[in-house]
Amino acid sequence: MQALPIGNISFTTFQLNGFYSVGEWRHFLFIPYFLMFLLCTTANSILIFLIISQRSLHSPMFVLIGLMAVVDLCMPMIFVPHMLLSFLFDWNQISLVGCLMQIFCTQFIGAFQSTLLLWMSLDRFFAICRPLSYHINMQMANFLKFIIVPVIRNWLLNIIIISLAGKLHFCVKNEIDHCFCEHMGLVQLACEDTSVNNIAGLVGAFLIPTADFLFIAVSYVIIFASVMKSGKSSWKAINTCITHIIVITFSLVFAMTAFLSYRTRNNFSPNSRIFISTMYILFPSCFNPIIYGVRTKEIRLQFIKFFKRVKNIFPIIV
C-alpha cells in the first residue's frame, strides 16, 4: 500500500478491495460471477446473432432489442474480467485514469440502456396508439429526432461528472471498498469539498434514469388506456409492453438501490452494497435476453430453429 500523500500530492493508483472481508472464501466468488458472465455473453451473443441473421427480425422493435443485447454484452466487459482476475490472483490495482475510464464507460452505457428502454416505449406507443403512422415515425430520419437529444444529454452529463471527479485530490486513502470503480466510491476518498460532485451525481441521476422512467411511465399509461378503450382484441399487441415493463422493473430496482446505498443512512454492509452494485450490471445483462427470448414469440421461434440446426450439426454434443 502507498504511504499517505503529503501536501498537494494525490494518489494516482488505487486498490479495489471488494469482498476482502470474506477472507479465503473470496477466491470461490470467481465461480458464480464467472458463470453469470458466461451466461451473459452467451445469451446476448445468440440474441444478437439471431436478430442480425434472420430477416424476419429486422423490424424496428427487434433492432432495439438487438441494441439492448449489445449494451448488455458490453456492460460486464468493462469490469468483470478485471474482477475475476482479482478473485483468482489478487490483481486489485487500478490507475486513476483507468478508474475514471471505468466509471465513464459504466455510467454512459448504463445511461444508454435507460434511453433504449425509453425508445422501446416509444416504439410500442407508435405501434399501438398510432399504428397507421408507425412506419413513418420509425423511419431512421424521423426516429433520429427522438434519440439525438437523449444521446447528447447522456454524453454531456457523464463528461461533466467524470471531469469534476478527475480534478479532485485523493489523499484520504487509496483503497476502494469495491470490485470496480464507482463514482461515489472514488469521490468519497477525496480530501477536499465534494459537494459539487454530489450535486452533479444527483443531477445526472435525475436527468437520465429518473427522467427516462417518467417518460416511459407516461407512455405506458397512454398505451394501456388506449388498449382498454379499443377492446379485448388489442390485448395481444400489449404482450411486448409487459416484457419491457419486466426489464424496466429489474433495472430500476437494482439501479436505485445501488445509487441510494451511498447517499442515505442504511444498514447495508460493505459486502451487501458491493453485491447490489455488481448485480445492477450483471443481473439485467444475464436475464434480459432470456426474458425477451421467452416472452417474444418471433425470437422464441427463431431460437428453436437455431437450436435444431446446431443439434443437427453437433448431435453428440447437444
Q: What percent of the chain has pLDDT over 90?
A: 18
pLDDT over 50 at 111, yes or no? yes
The pLDDT tens digits for 28-49 are: 999 999 999 999 999 999 999 9
Closest to 163 (Cα-Cα) out of 122, 127, 129, 196: 196
Cell of 66: 438487438
- Other beta carbons within 10 Å of 151: 14
The pLDDT tens digits for 142-176 are: 777 777 888 899 999 999 999 999 999 888 788 88
| SS3 assignment for the chain | CCCCCCCCCCCCEEEECCCHHHHHHHHHHHHHHHHHHHHHHHHHHHHHHHHHHCHHHCCHHHHHHHHHHHHHHHHHHCCHHHHHHHHHHCCCEEEHHHHHHHHHHHHHHHHHHHHHHHHHHHHHHHHHHCHHHHHHHCCHHHHHHHHHHHHHHHHHHHHHHHHHHHCCCCCCCCEECCCCCCHHHHHCCCCCCCHHHHHHHHHHHHHHHHHHHHHHHHHHHHHHHHHHHHCHHHHHHHHHHHHHHHHHHHHHHHHHHHHHHHHCCCCCCHHHHHHHHHHHHHHHHHHHHHHHHHHCHHHHHHHHHHHHHHHHHCCCCC
Share the mean pLDDT of the chain: 83
Q: What pTM does this model have? A: 0.84
Closest to 244 (Cα-Cα) out of 132, 146, 113, 75: 113
Location of C-alpha cell 458472465: 37
Tell me whether residue 47 is exposed, middle or buried, using C-beta atoms within 10 angstroms of its C-beta: 0 to 12, 13 to 18, 19 or more: buried
CA distance 66 to 47: 7
CA distance 115 to 120: 9
The pLDDT tens digits for 199-242 are: 998 888 888 888 888 888 888 888 888 877 776 555 655 666 77
- At 1, the pLDDT band (50, 70, 90 cuts) reads very low
Residue 231: predicted pLDDT? 63
Question: Check: CATH 3.30.1600.10 for 13-313?
Answer: no
The pLDDT tens digits for 242-287 are: 777 777 777 777 777 766 666 666 677 778 888 888 888 888 888 8
Residue 38: predicted pLDDT? 94
- List the beta bridge partners of residue 14: 94
Contact assessment for residue 133 and residue 98, using Cβ atoms and an 8 Å cutoff: no
Closest to 113 (Cα-Cα) out of 261, 283, 273: 283
Q: Enumerate the domain spans of the chain.
A: 13-313
The pLDDT tens digits for 128-141 are: 888 888 888 777 77
